[in-house]
Structure 1
């Protein structure tokens, strides 16, 4: 049986679904491995590295999809890619089945089998296959690195003969996988870190990582903020107003805000409004990890860095 990985065609996508190392493991299990030429280039894997690992490098996407029995890729396939499917093919990739009706219908019409990586249950036994969590973990870490790269001061406080520098104040909105990774990175860099989540049960995790949990005086609703599958539930309008009031109170004091709030198959909730951005100090940084679904910040522009009139950088 042949497992093949095409080159990702979305702009800015550097990942590849098969590495020379994973191909070696698959070959030990008896599979034949193929990659499209250039598939691993942006991830640092040349065609020669694949060849050294015993992988067959094919010249085109059409040849790859035509030859492989199982196609493993990263991004949701485009209409053009779905057109390559046949009833004897199996596709393994992110697919967003609940929000990708067009893709589901196209795969169904072809009679192909699709395994959606989003649907791997978020339980201990399946952690090795939980691609959502592994990517969210990296995103949370990267958010802090991006913030530091755009912030004009240290994260950590310093006292030297030349004077004193106060530590940065960081607010992480959403303490899921990405949020906890951001909290861990921020605290390890020496920032004073605050975190908010609609699920009060995560307060213990936040505090165990050296951050301060931001509580709302809204006990009954906050106690019901969890949904199944490790995600936050949709909040009531009353709870949302209490939440926004707390953020307005915190905004002028925060140097860096990292927002991570997303619920599957919904637009990102707007949590950081225009007036909050305007109340922040010049030089402050917002990193919006929900940009792909509209953003948690009102002024977010997906795939662009925005600098506001009052000198706040939004990534």
Structure 2
């Protein structure tokens, strides 16, 4: 049997898995990232996870390579990570080469959102397509783009950052500032004092409220929460329309906690997108929930490894 190892590096959690060439997770391991301990300590934990999943490989099996999805900015060509916002102390850290030296395997490093796009294209709802946009809406807004069957990387591998789309000329606010899960919680905090009877006050305070509480209150019929979710749908839908015009994909897939836990939000945002495209043919593009769920990071990293060895 042939395998690759997938590593998903997050600011909170590290995960590694042994993956078949068809995307089956044979075994997976996880541990806390503990970013405050520094890059060398985190690297040590990554290598330990790799050892654990590698131990399952039998003598007659082949281990073809290793893929790593990590927060950007990073350069997939040089394998360097440059100061991810949620991982201080990683400036110009040669992650790919350090892992390759320690494991003796060919290693591919990629931005985590780009890797997720690649994973959906190879193993998820993008299978068989040549043009795909993947978006993730959670703490921030990230994404990746497949054009003509190739991951769009651009200079220094930094292309495909939809969350940085400037959407307010007066303030310079980017899409992520207004439509991410963090932004939804921030808007709720701003509005809660004006709605003293809102159910949100029973779930959180203005200093602690998150997108999850807004979603729950909206499902319970709370007026403020429903208004906030309607605003979120408008903001997301406008961005979706922009993605359709920019890249003309065959499908637009949306993941991340804000969307995956709120199917009605995606439905509403889809309608906003279709109502705001300037060319009718874009209404033919399906806007659907991503299909790989919690495994998208690992399967994306596996797709990175497979892309390198093919």
Normalization by structure 2: what TM-score? 0.32
Normalization by structure 1: what TM-score? 0.32
- Structure whose residues are more often helix by fraction: 2
Decide which structure has the larger Cα Rg and report it.
1
